[in-house]
Amino acid sequence: MASYLVTGAAGFIGRSIAAALLARGDSVRGIDNFSTGKRSNLAGLERMDFIVGDLADPVACERACSGVEIVFHEAALASVPRSVADPVATNVACVDATLNLLVAARAAGVRRVVYAGSSSAYGDAPALPKHEGMLPSPISPYAVAKLAGEHYMGAFSRVYGLETVVLRYFNVFGPFQDPMSHYSGVLAIFCRRMLAGEQPTIYGDGEQSRDFTYIENVVQGNLLAAAAPAAKVSGQTMNLATSSRITLNQTFALLAELTGYSGKPAYEPARSGDIRDSLADIRLAGELLGYSPQVDFREGLRRTVEWYRAGGGN
Ligand code: UD2
């Protein structure tokens, strides 16, 4: 039986991966510094060996990697506007931390690291869908930092023979995403506000589009990436998404139906560093992992609204 480490285990995606591993009986360690993760996200994960620690500290990385075979590296400061406000903090949490983790993973004899990449790597070029053969063109400090992490994965695979797999997530949403921060993902913020009868804000004209990906699909992609033969996936980068896109205005209308919100959104100027349109080509993950999304956007949104309605995220 493999032994797994999940970084960012008290965060939205990390806790969801840890829950899936524990549910199938695997042995899981988690690490989080609670910078954006929450203690309440650890409910139900009591069997996880949990460490409070910051990956910017090499000693914490060493402790976390000891005895581990496979790492899911989800820890990050995941927000474009946060990185615009404080690029150095984003760099420390996304780049320094990733390098420290890789060094510790190699020293501990970890076999594989599966990395949470970001669709922001593609930048704002108009060509859609985005496929992995396109040249990265990050436009925000966050996108640069996540892309640097991807390149470190590639280098550790080439130079040291560590097995690495990069999964480029496209706007993940679902239960356990924090709705409280100004830096939270848009769907978490909209769900919370609209269920509370508060007006949501759309930055820009609302015609920007995203390939919103329900969390269950991302968990499935990670489990497949951990299990796939090294010859097929090591050193590879692939999109993880649903390959359908929707505008924010359309999303608002859907959420109005699901939440019963009857007001209109407020419109404010577009945020700097923001990307206009995003849509993934997911054929590579299909070929290399056998990945295909199991939950579509509407069903994912319905489940997500129900989770927040039942008090999740408070
Ligand atoms: C980027 C990445 C995503 C992930 C994420 C981590 C792209 C296309 N996507 O997501 O893969 O790495 O960063 O944070 O680069 N918005 C509003 N009102 C709000 C909040 C947001 O209108 O209250 C807008 C925002 O300006 C943007 C869209 O909603 O146009 C999505 O914003 P987001 O912060 O949820 O995610 P995004 O696309 O920056």
Task: Output the CA 79–ligand 1 centroid distance in Å.
Answer: 7
Residues of the chain with pLDDT under 50: none
Task: Output the CA 185–ligand 1 centroid distance in Å.
Answer: 6
Kindly give, in sequence order, each residue whose CB lies less than 8 Å from that of residue 36, ignoring residues fewer than 6 positions away. Answer: 11, 77, 78, 178, 181, 183
Q: Classify residue 277 by its DSSP letter.
A: B
Reported as a single tens digit per residue, the pLDDT across 26-61 is: 999 999 999 999 999 999 999 999 999 999 999 999
Inter-residue contact 65 to 7 (CB < 8 Å): no
Query: What local confidence, expressed as pLDDT, does residue 309 receive?
Result: 97
What pTM did the predictor assign?
0.98
Reported as a single tens digit per residue, the pLDDT across 263-273 is: 999 999 999 99
Query: What local confidence, expressed as pLDDT, does residue 2 receive?
Result: 67
Question: Residue of the nearest CA to atom 18 in ligand 1?
Answer: 202
Task: Output the CA 6–ligand 1 centroid distance in Å.
Answer: 24
Structure tokens at 30: 């988690």
Inter-residue contact 146 to 118 (CB < 8 Å): yes
Q: Where are the domains of the chain?
A: 3-173+212-243+277-294
- 4, 115, 122, 142: which is the annotated catalytic residue? 142
Q: Structurally, what CATH architecture does the domain formed by 3-173+212-243+277-294 represent?
A: 3-Layer(aba) Sandwich (3.40)
Query: What local confidence, expressed as pLDDT, does residue 313 receive?
Result: 87
Inter-residue contact 285 to 219 (CB < 8 Å): no
